[in-house]
Structure 1
Amino acid sequence: MTTTDNQYSGQRFHGENPVLKFDDLDVRFRTEFGTVHAVKGLTLSVEPGEVMALVGESGSGKSVSATTALGLLPKTARIQGETRVADRPINNLSARDLRKVRGKSVAMVFQEPMTALNPVIKIGDQLIESMEVHGVAYGRQAWNRAIELLKAVGIPGAERRVNQFPHELSGGMRQRVVIAMALACDPEVIIADEPTTALDVTVQAEILDLLRSLKDKLNTGILLITHNMGVVADMADNVAVMFKGNIVERGPVEQVLLHPQHPYTKKLLAAVPHLGDGPGQFGEAPNPVAETAEAALEVSNLVVEYHRTGKKPFRAVDDVSFDVRRGEIVGLVGESGSGKSTIGRALLGLIPSHSGQVKVLGEDLLSMKGSEMRQLRKRIGVIFQDPAASLNPRFPVGGVISEPLEVHKVGDRKSREARVHELLEAVQLPRSAFNRYPHELSGGQRQRVSIARALALNPDLLIADEPTSALDVSVQASVLAMFTTLQKEFGFACLFISHDLAVIDSLAHRVVVMQYGKIVEAGTREQVLLNPQQEYTKRLLAAAPVPDPIEQRERRAARHALLKELGDEIVELDTRELDFEK
């Protein structure tokens, strides 16, 4: 049975030799608005060869807790309790002694590899830096070891890659480089802070395979920080759930995920979309669409090219055709670089199309210019991925939502204000939000403002580009529930662009799968997600984790079998390339 924090108090949860231990850790931050109590008496340990998942939403305190182990908290933090790494207390270590611990005893794999890697230093030089600092290897020996590390984490052409810069590598390769850097000095424990959040689903599966083999083959302890319950089900041995600075539940992964005891854990798990459960996971399912329904969007043989000086044009979208009917939600899915967001921008007229035809509500979009285009745009709404970047920070929420009405000269000031209040109610925001600014709202509230703005002109077609990917799982669930309700109420057609197959499964009528600018498979949700015909679709579906550890083990085995059948290698740490083993 899982244990809640008050049941656990003071007991040792694991064995007697943890590689990382927090004992009654308490962290407060001094701010101009008062003291923020971020972590409240955390007691947690990680054993050799164990993956301990610390899960929770933004602001729960999980990343603050982990950062304590590296001594990286700012001077405004007041830390009480004890943190031990490899049985060495680090709370009161000097900056010099902390540098001896970082990389050597405890290493970190950060969420975004491009911010963790120096963009102006070669990969090889970044790998040898920690080796030379800790006296592990120098000069040519260190350089050879860097090559061995890249080979060990499955990067092909390692001798060439060490001389490249981070921007020359793909996102998955960059994350493997970060893991290689973490391994460089053979640490006892690795802290992985959202190590797969920025990655495509197939790359995420490869990174999880790599981390799993790391702990199995080197007996390294891993503290996995994440809000993705599918990743927890795939990786973790034990789980601790954090909420507002407290651990509210902990236990073996199967017990916590399959038999949660605390209301917050139950709420968190209920908010996770489950691939295969279909529409209606978050409230009502969208209305069915008649076969004879009129097309709101018709895309025929669309081609989008990017022209580069002195080089052949790059074809980002290649001969793409699909349609969206009135009242229908079509999911456009694919990995980074597949061309799905480029299609969204082309449909909005934000980038030029090379050839093809796009009809919006029966009108030819590509041939329109000036006032004709503005009139058509009144009938198209758009929701961008990042609400913080798409909302004007100088406008209050009321001004943000009413801006489309003002641009298109719809109504007078009084009627616009009434429309804004009507929309705030529709997206479940209080009337008081009218005079607040975007930075005063949470991420979920900002995305609701984006949806309200998109609906301001009662559009017939809505283009939603990754509208929930930047949100916590419970906020995502509430936004998806609201989105489905609004779609039923307003009846708009929607092109929903996403890389999250479970999200698409929860609301789409039909699915279009893209790879390298081309459509590889299209059909109803049931046809594509439950009975895929194409190899690429099968790979995508096999790589998507589910929040059930037993089912996920079966899915992982099936994915590995599929990869072997297709002649692909399973990514594992190759310890033969390393000169150390625990």
Structure 2
Amino acid sequence: MATTTSTARGDAPTKGEGPVLSFEDLHVRFSTQFGEVHAVKGITFDVHPGEVVALVGESGSGKSVTSMTALGLLPANARVSGDIRVGGTSLGGLDDRGLRRVRGRDVAMVFQEPMTALNPVLTIGLQLTEALELHGIAYGTDASARAVELLRMVGIPEPERRARQYPHELSGGQRQRVVIAMAISCEPRVIIADEPTTALDVTVQAEILDLLRSLKDTLRTGILLITHNMGVVADMADRVAVMLRGDLVETGTVEEVLVRPVHEYTRRLLGSVPHLGAREDAQVAAVDPAEGAERRAGARTGTPALDLSGLVIEYQRLGRPPFRAVDDVSLTVGESEIVGLVGESGSGKSTIGRCALGLIPAASGSVNIFGQDVGRIGRRDLKELRRRIGVVFQDPAASLNPRMPVGDCVAEPLVVHKVLRSGKDRLEKVHEMLDAVELPRSTANRYPHELSGGQRQRVSIARALILDPELLVADEPTSALDVSVQASVLALLTDLQARYGFACLFVSHDLAVVDLLAHRVVVLRGGRVVEAGLREDVLHRPQEEYTRRLLAAAPVPEPHEQRRRREARHAFLAELGEEASVLRDVRGVSGRD
């Protein structure tokens, strides 16, 4: 294991201050029906006041298990040994009542998915006052007033009104801000943030990171940041600890670990991260559209694979005017071309993809696939047209039938479209596709829950391509994957696209991934196209303010470059008169200096 001496950057911990959170020789073992699982293997590290320590590693490395020990939230089959201290208090000797006093007051948690952390049947205000009253900080009207102050502190507009609303009435970014407000409500010594920005757009992610940075600088709160996003690590961390299968394999300052990594695993992780603007140096490069068209024997007509013209999509609302999700959108995807569709949540990206698949009707405009107007053809012709289209959804666990073996899931399009009626022929085709996505043929006999997230996504790709489609619609296919798994899936997609020559509408909010794959890029905002063109023009020479805002918010996994990008982003927002005032709000509401 490579261990380096930490010298934190920025607002470093004051010399002589003791750690607010420390793990010493921590071991965690789980008793299962298959034997004992040693999940965390004797790790030791500290978090000091005003310091951000990033705990990174792939799924299953033990990151979240380590964090849960600091809150006493592991299940009953867990056996913990070693010393865990919050401030000067050892958690090992505390009973349930003692742990409840520590939670919230001394150590707080920001979970990855705010909708699972918030109670859907209680208002935001009630959930905030609950923690204040439980720890004896404020009661009644004082607690309600403090709840509103906390919402204002984390940058939520109209906090008085929002306090009366329920979680489902807020956007994803606003819900994450509420969770952060709950975490800081008792001014804890340390905040554990478990993947706090994974499901957020780049602009909302940048705002949440600005908020966390302001809070830790102003309140001197230590933060244990758990993430697999190296751009977030470069943007936030003072020190980095890298975990692999329960072991700490490398620790050091953010510059040491991200710029001069020692361990091979760390170098492999960093090598898997797509870097905005580094396509020319990447090993994975998209195939040229003309070359791909030549590979496909039957695709020589010159007709676009997908042609949307003046597309309008509306959702009907009871007693209210319809909500227009997509407004006058026109775009084309040519033969063997990858078009990246980018924008924030709610911009209409996935809605357009579903409409292109015929799953959502268009209020007006036209959807032409291979020259056929989807809105004007009959059901039989539509079914035949869908045979030429493949789809990869964002969440493979939700798109695969949990009661069907993987082989049956992959073969399902063959059954639906009555291709290869012989069971033997179908099995041979399934094995061919499993080979293509680099999965062992024995995977056909397993069920989806027995596979990892990356393996399930490969199964989804195999199913999407089994009919040799001419158009693939991929909706955020890599957003929830580890960086190394994401890199392998992207390499796989690129290789298969080069081999089979299909056109692809690639929906994503990760600009680095789009920069790596796409030939052309379409930028959406509020259901309308704000910019479109060649990938190198839109992502490297943007003309529109909104595109520049998206690009400025995208983090890169190099600390010095990311610091420059963050400063440039703040300067850009200041020019627009939108400079973040989070730090001022925090200082104004908090009683600390």
TM class by smaller structure: over 0.9
Alignment of 1:454-469 (within 5 A): 454-469=464-479
Tell me the alpha carbon deviations over residues 263-303 of structure 1, each in whole angstroms, 9 at most, x when there is no partner. 11001001111011126724343224389954111111111
TM-fit CA distance, 1:6: 11
Q: What's 2:44 paired with?
A: 43
**Alignment partners' CA distance in 1, 2:164 and 2:384:** 52
Tell me the alpha carbon deviations over residues 36-72 of structure 1, each in whole angstroms, 9 at most, x when there is no partner. 1110001010001100111111111011111101111
Alignment of 1:26-105 (within 5 A): 26-105=27-106
Q: What residue identity is the alignment partner of 2:592? A: E
Q: What's 1:192 paired with?
A: 193
TM-fit CA distance, 1:413: 2.2
State whether residues 286 and 518 of structure 2, in contact with CA within 8 Å, keep that contact through their aligned partners in structure 1. Answer: no
Q: 1:579 to 1:205 in 2, by over 3 A?
A: closer
Q: What residue identity is the alignment partner of 2:195? A: E
**Alignment partners' CA distance in 1, 2:487 and 2:66:** 26
Q: What's 1:541 paired with?
A: 551
- Is 1:254 aligned to 2:255, yes or no? yes
Alignment of 1:262-281 (within 5 A): 262-278=263-279, 281=282
Secondary structure of 1:395's match? Answer: coil
Secondary structure of 1:295's match? Answer: coil
- Is 1:298 aligned to 2:299, yes or no? no
**Alignment partners' CA distance in 2, 1:118 and 1:324:** 43
TM-fit CA distance, 1:425: 0.8
Stretch deviating more after TM superposition (390-399 or 520-529): 390-399
**Alignment partners' CA distance in 2, 1:309 and 1:178:** 31
Q: What's 2:591 paired with?
A: 580
User: Could you list the runs of 5+ residues in structure 2 that have no partner in the other structure?
Assistant: 7-14, 294-300
Q: What residue identity is the alignment partner of 1:263? A: E
State whether residues 390 and 464 of structure 2, in contact with CA within 8 Å, keep that contact through their aligned partners in structure 1. Answer: yes
TM-fit CA distance, 1:7: 10
Q: What's 1:451 paired with?
A: 461
Aligned residues with identical type, % of pairs: 66
State whether residues 391 and 400 of structure 1, in contact with CA within 8 Å, keep that contact through their aligned partners in structure 2. Answer: yes
TM-fit CA distance, 1:5: 5.3
State whether residues 282 and 477 of structure 1, in contact with CA within 8 Å, keep that contact through their aligned partners in structure 2. Answer: no
- Is 1:4 aligned to 2:5, yes or no? no
Q: What's 2:19 paired with?
A: 18
- Is 1:375 aligned to 2:376, yes or no? no
- Is 1:168 aligned to 2:169, yes or no? yes
TM-fit CA distance, 1:253: 0.2
TM-fit CA distance, 1:171: 1.4
State whether residues 333 and 340 of structure 1, in contact with CA within 8 Å, keep that contact through their aligned partners in structure 2. Answer: yes
**Alignment partners' CA distance in 2, 1:330 and 1:478:** 20
Q: What's 2:366 paired with?
A: 357
State whether residues 238 and 254 of structure 2, in contact with CA within 8 Å, keep that contact through their aligned partners in structure 1. Answer: yes
Q: What residue identity is the alignment partner of 1:311? A: R
TM-fit CA distance, 1:130: 1.4
State whether residues 109 and 178 of structure 1, in contact with CA within 8 Å, keep that contact through their aligned partners in structure 2. Answer: yes
TM-fit CA distance, 1:505: 0.5
Tell me the alpha carbon deviations over residues 449-489 of structure 1, each in whole angstroms, 9 at most, x when there is no partner. 11111111111111111111121110010010011000000
Q: TM-score scaled to structure 1, two decimals? A: 0.96
Q: What's 1:341 paired with?
A: 350
Q: TM-score scaled to structure 2, two decimals? A: 0.94
Secondary structure of 1:366's match? Answer: helix
Q: What residue identity is the alignment partner of 1:266? A: R
State whether residues 282 and 478 of structure 1, in contact with CA within 8 Å, keep that contact through their aligned partners in structure 2. Answer: no
Aligned length: 575
State whether residues 5 and 253 of structure 2, in contact with CA within 8 Å, keep that contact through their aligned partners in structure 1. Answer: no
- Is 1:151 aligned to 2:164, yes or no? no
Q: What's 1:326 paired with?
A: 335
Q: What's 1:531 paired with?
A: 541
Tell me the alpha carbon deviations over residues 413-464 of structure 1, each in whole angstroms, 9 at most, x when there is no partner. 2222221111111111111112111111111111111111111111111111
Q: 1:284 to 1:562 in 2, by over 3 A?
A: closer
Tell me the alpha carbon deviations over residues 502-535 of structure 1, each in whole angstroms, 9 at most, x when there is no partner. 1101110000000111111000000100011111
Secondary structure of 1:29's match? Answer: strand
Q: What's 2:9 paired with?
A: none
* CA-based RMSD: 1.7
Secondary structure of 2:321's match? Answer: coil
Stretch deviating more after TM superposition (25-34 or 133-142): 133-142
**Alignment partners' CA distance in 2, 1:317 and 1:280:** 36
Q: 1:439 to 1:268 in 2, by over 3 A?
A: same
Aligned mate of 2:511, from 496, 501, 508? 501
Secondary structure of 1:351's match? Answer: coil
Q: What residue identity is the alignment partner of 1:260? A: P
**Alignment partners' CA distance in 2, 1:86 and 1:94:** 17
Q: What's 1:11 paired with?
A: none
State whether residues 108 and 192 of structure 1, in contact with CA within 8 Å, keep that contact through their aligned partners in structure 2. Answer: yes
Q: What's 2:206 paired with?
A: 205
Secondary structure of 1:458's match? Answer: coil
- Is 1:417 aligned to 2:427, yes or no? yes
**Alignment partners' CA distance in 2, 1:324 and 1:274:** 25
Tell me the alpha carbon deviations over residues 301-347 of structure 1, each in whole angstroms, 9 at most, x when there is no partner. 11111111111011111111010111110001111100010011111
Q: What residue identity is the alignment partner of 2:201? A: D
Secondary structure of 1:344's match? Answer: helix
State whether residues 49 and 215 of structure 1, in contact with CA within 8 Å, keep that contact through their aligned partners in structure 2. Answer: yes
**Alignment partners' CA distance in 1, 2:280 and 2:409:** 31
**Alignment partners' CA distance in 1, 2:158 and 2:4:** 52
Secondary structure of 2:112's match? Answer: coil
**Alignment partners' CA distance in 2, 1:163 and 1:361:** 50
Q: What's 1:400 paired with?
A: 409
**Alignment partners' CA distance in 1, 2:241 and 2:188:** 23
TM-fit CA distance, 1:575: 3.2
**Alignment partners' CA distance in 2, 1:154 and 1:440:** 42
Secondary structure of 1:312's match? Answer: strand
**Alignment partners' CA distance in 2, 1:354 and 1:284:** 38
State whether residues 387 and 446 of structure 1, in contact with CA within 8 Å, keep that contact through their aligned partners in structure 2. Answer: yes
Tell me the alpha carbon deviations over residues 238-267 of structure 1, each in whole angstroms, 9 at most, x when there is no partner. 000011001100100011001111011001
Stretch deviating more after TM superposition (37-46 or 175-184): 175-184
